[in-house]
Chain A
């Protein structure tokens, strides 16, 4: 698997998320996938011993997506508009079944009558090789800001 294949995969995922195609996004996930956003002050912490911002297993990812699709996820209603810029993709480890990949992100968020902002950081993905493609086993979004501060919340899928 080369970097170009990984980049294509990330761009596809970003397009799904920016389009709020959350069911399409869930199809990219393994059945035991994890979605993590560590706290700003412990970016390489372990969610079993550190209070994260988000530490979802698949059950809570499903719950999160169901919530975000309803009109009652008030922090995301009307849904924010996002635009994701994904760059600096690097394959850190390549096994037979799994890759560890990092990429930088800049996610711009806009909301009518509410807070927007620019979420900047890097991802660390564990991608499982399935056929000639990937599925996401773990997706860790690490924010660079010292505190969440004016961004307020991570109420959409970062």
Chain B
């Protein structure tokens, strides 16, 4: 017996269909997540099709290919791609596959070139993708048309303030409306730079987590876990003379809040009280950095006015751009994208972002501040990774006995929800569920109803 004739299979799929992915009833103060969504390989297959191939996926930053001919290779949306700047100064994203018989044409991590050369049979392409040389092309028939055999661009490729996104859905809405309320927060990040230019700093952190990718979405802006998971980091900050108490009578926003930004994007937006390289000095940065940090703040006030400068310099944001990009603008600016390799494994890529032309001391402080918390050798991130792996290990084989996770923090509140509530997590899951099932999402907040 095979396929749908197999009674065991039919039973399995019926059982699967019995439970929805989420139970979402904000009126009844109920939100539960079906743990199968974190375990089932068939759900990952559906996600590739219904989520990742429909959305805009972060591909890279303008600053990574500053000069014509510069290129970087990576995977975006599960495809090998070449990010490059062509001779006409256009940033391009090509699928890294030869139009002849398929080999990856570029195997270096990065470089500068006029030609991408496929070593298998020797076809070569210009950095604008055009097929420029075919050895022995006299053997091809008249119908062989070089102009149709250039490197394939991804179907859609657009940027917002230097952040480039690709989509494998030719009919996807334009990037800017897709980003919805997230643009307000990207603007806050980019406004750190006097001339509006930010850059990716050299040095990539690439590491795997043995957990479902959606657990990292949750974790990246889940402030509920700070005190339990990151007590050793808080200790370190305290030992270094940084206050870890939230002072009374804070400015806007008065406390940390979680916000639904539309289209599945969400943010936690916190008043800063532990220092920011732009532009709030704390002792840990060292006396020698104080004048530079203060000068950066003065520049912000001069350029943006007191109120906006305060917003840029003294609020932190963990911005989630659906489905798989986090920009954490706090103790440093972290750009972190992740990709599922399997239902229980993801690849994470993290970069540091900073203003172009910032002083050497500011750059040093920024990178140092990044490493205190973030990354595979930071004093905090390894514990996040451990948490996610323990979640995966805990729920995978118990999913039949313990099918649901509870995610209702803050759901009964009337107004704003805190960064330690779970509104922003629910925002992600609602959008994800809508894309997976076509069902409309329940409305929890006035903001979401707009």
Whole-angstrom distance between the Cβ of A155 and the nearest chain B Cβ: 4
Q: Which residues of B contact A114 (CB under 8 A)?
A: 386, 389
B379/A151 in contact, CB under 8 A? no
**Residue A115 interfacial (CB < 8 Å):** yes
Instruction: Give the segment of B63-71, B83-91, B204-212 that binds chain A.
Output: B204-212
A93 CA to B222 CA in the complex, in Å? 49
Contact flags (1/0) for A77-120 with B, using CB distance below 8 Å?
A: 00000000000000000000000000000000000011100000
Q: Which residues of A contact B202 (CB under 8 A)?
A: 39, 42, 45, 49-51
A50/B203 in contact, CB under 8 A? yes
A38 CA to B370 CA in the complex, in Å? 14
**Residue B240 interfacial (CB < 8 Å):** yes
**Residue B387 interfacial (CB < 8 Å):** yes
Contact flags (1/0) for A117-158 with B, using CB distance below 8 Å?
A: 000000000000000000000000000001111111111000
Whole-angstrom distance between the Cβ of B208 and the nearest chain A Cβ: 5
Contact flags (1/0) for A60-73 with B, using CB distance below 8 Å?
A: 10011011001011
**Residue A58 interfacial (CB < 8 Å):** no
Please count the residue pairs between chain A and chain B whose beta carbons lie under 8 angstroms apart in the complex.
136
Residue of A nearest to B284 (CB): A59
Q: How many residues of A are counted as interface, with CB atoms below 8 angstroms from the partner's CB atoms?
A: 42
Most buried by B among A66, A76, A153: A153
Q: Which residues of B contact A147 (CB under 8 A)?
A: 204, 206-207
A151/B207 in contact, CB under 8 A? yes
Q: Which residues of B contact A56 (CB under 8 A)?
A: 371
A40 CA to B204 CA in the complex, in Å? 7
B201/A49 in contact, CB under 8 A? yes
Point out residues on B near A: beta carbons under 8 Å: 109, 201-210, 229, 231-233, 235-236, 239-240, 284, 347, 351-352, 360, 363-364, 367-368, 370-372, 375-377, 379, 381-383, 385-387, 389-390, 393
A42 CA to B296 CA in the complex, in Å? 29
Q: Which residues of A contact B367 (CB under 8 A)?
A: 47-52, 55
Whole-angstrom distance between the Cβ of B392 and the nearest chain A Cβ: 11
Q: Which residues of B contact A148 (CB under 8 A)?
A: 205-208, 376
B379/A63 in contact, CB under 8 A? yes
A17 CA to B285 CA in the complex, in Å? 29
A38 CA to B232 CA in the complex, in Å? 23
Q: What DSSP secondary structure best describes chain A's contact surface?
A: loop
Contacts A39-B204, A67-B232; A74 near B389 (Cβ below 8 A): no
A64/B379 in contact, CB under 8 A? yes
**Residue A30 interfacial (CB < 8 Å):** no
A60 CA to B371 CA in the complex, in Å? 10
Q: Which residues of B contact A152 (CB under 8 A)?
A: 207-210, 376, 382, 385
**Residue A37 interfacial (CB < 8 Å):** yes
A70/B232 in contact, CB under 8 A? yes
A41/B109 in contact, CB under 8 A? yes
Point out residues on A near B: beta carbons under 8 Å: 37-42, 45, 47-56, 59-60, 63-64, 66-67, 70, 72-76, 113-115, 146-155
Whole-angstrom distance between the Cβ of A141 and the nearest chain B Cβ: 10
A74/B206 in contact, CB under 8 A? no
A71 CA to B375 CA in the complex, in Å? 20
Residue of A nearest to B350 (CB): A51
Q: Which residues of A contact B236 (CB under 8 A)?
A: 60, 63, 66-67
Residue of A nearest to B372 (CB): A60
Nearest 6 CB-CB pairings of A with B: A51-B203, A75-B382, A54-B377, A147-B206, A67-B232, A39-B203
A51/B204 in contact, CB under 8 A? yes
Whole-angstrom distance between the Cβ of A78 and the nearest chain B Cβ: 11
Residue of B nearest to A38 (CB): B203
A66/B239 in contact, CB under 8 A? yes
Q: A51 contacts which of B232, B240, B352, B382 (Cβ < 8 Å)?
A: B352
Q: Which residues of B contact A115 (CB under 8 A)?
A: 210, 389
B207/A54 in contact, CB under 8 A? no
Whole-angstrom distance between the Cβ of A94 and the nearest chain B Cβ: 30
Q: Which residues of A contact B204 (CB under 8 A)?
A: 39-41, 51, 147
Residue of A nearest to B229 (CB): A74
A59/B203 in contact, CB under 8 A? no
A-B contact pairs, 13 of them (CB 8 A): A48-B363, A48-B364, A49-B202, A49-B363, A51-B203, A52-B367, A70-B232, A73-B232, A75-B386, A113-B390, A115-B210, A148-B207, A152-B382
Q: Which residues of B contact A151 (CB under 8 A)?
A: 207
Residue of A nearest to B228 (CB): A72
A141 CA to B351 CA in the complex, in Å? 20
Most buried by A among B205, B363, B386, B389: B386
Q: Which residues of B contact A146 (CB under 8 A)?
A: 109
Q: Which residues of A contact B284 (CB under 8 A)?
A: 59
Residue of B nearest to A67 (CB): B232
Contacts A49-B201, A50-B367, A51-B351; A153 near B207 (Cβ below 8 A): yes
A37 CA to B205 CA in the complex, in Å? 11
Q: Which residues of A contact B383 (CB under 8 A)?
A: 73-75
A86 CA to B347 CA in the complex, in Å? 30
A66 CA to B234 CA in the complex, in Å? 12
Whole-angstrom distance between the Cβ of A74 and the nearest chain B Cβ: 4
Q: Which residues of A contact B389 (CB under 8 A)?
A: 114-115
Q: Which residues of A contact B209 (CB under 8 A)?
A: 152
Q: Which residues of B contact A39 (CB under 8 A)?
A: 202-205
Q: B376 contacts which of A49, A53, A59, A72 (Cβ < 8 Å)?
A: A53
Q: A67 contacts which of B109, B210, B377, B379 (Cβ < 8 Å)?
A: B379
Q: Which residues of B contact A64 (CB under 8 A)?
A: 379
